[in-house]
Amino acid sequence: MSYNGELAAKYAIKYAMNPSPTFPYYASEAGGDCTNFVSQCFSYGGCPQATNTSPWYYNQKTHAHSNSWIIADILYHMLISKGKKTSPGIKGEELDSPFELKLGDAIFYENNENRIYHSAIVTDFDESNNSSIPLISQHTYDQANVIYFKPNALKSHFVRIYL
């Protein structure tokens, strides 16, 4: 079994502007639905969810979820720490450049307090000017296929997703 970033990106495009009715939508003025949305995309791309004791899950029947399912900082650190282990499930590897990203990979944004505050998923690439600039889709604020750069972010973390 492997992660299918193309399927994850298709899901993201479909639900970027109109959230899926299958999942709660956590938008609020204090933050919101970005990581819930990215987690949905990962799940649709084939990342398995084990049980309520795994580090990353959402239970469709009870709506119970791990903190990593909905909180950007926790998801980022869980992905990177699992990427160094041989345990099963979703993992992440931090890349040096946005030009190494593929469809279905993630970008996490860090603020001036050195905290990850936002996540988005790569859904396409702008091929103009002889480069391949990642385009992202996200919630909070709901957007589809926009340039990944965020002027308010102190740093962007480019993460390859795999199983």
Instruction: Output the domain CATH number for residue 52.
Output: 3.90.1720.10
Query: Residue 152 sits in which domain range?
Result: 5-162
What pTM value is reported for the model? Answer: 0.95
Find the helix packing angle between 5-15 and 34-44, rounded to 10°.
130
Q: List, in order, residues 6 or more apart from 107 with CB less than 8 Å away.
A: 98, 101, 119, 120, 121, 122, 134, 136, 148, 156, 157, 158, 159
In this prediction, residue 46 carries a pLDDT of: 96
In this prediction, residue 126 carries a pLDDT of: 95
d(CA 88, CA 17): 32
Identify the segments of the chain with pLDDT beneath 70. 29-31, 50-53
In this prediction, residue 32 carries a pLDDT of: 84
In this prediction, residue 89 carries a pLDDT of: 87
Identify the CA nearest to 68 among candidates 47, 96, 99.
Answer: 47
In this prediction, residue 29 carries a pLDDT of: 58
In this prediction, residue 130 carries a pLDDT of: 78
In this prediction, residue 151 carries a pLDDT of: 92
In this prediction, residue 84 carries a pLDDT of: 78
How many domains, the chain? 1
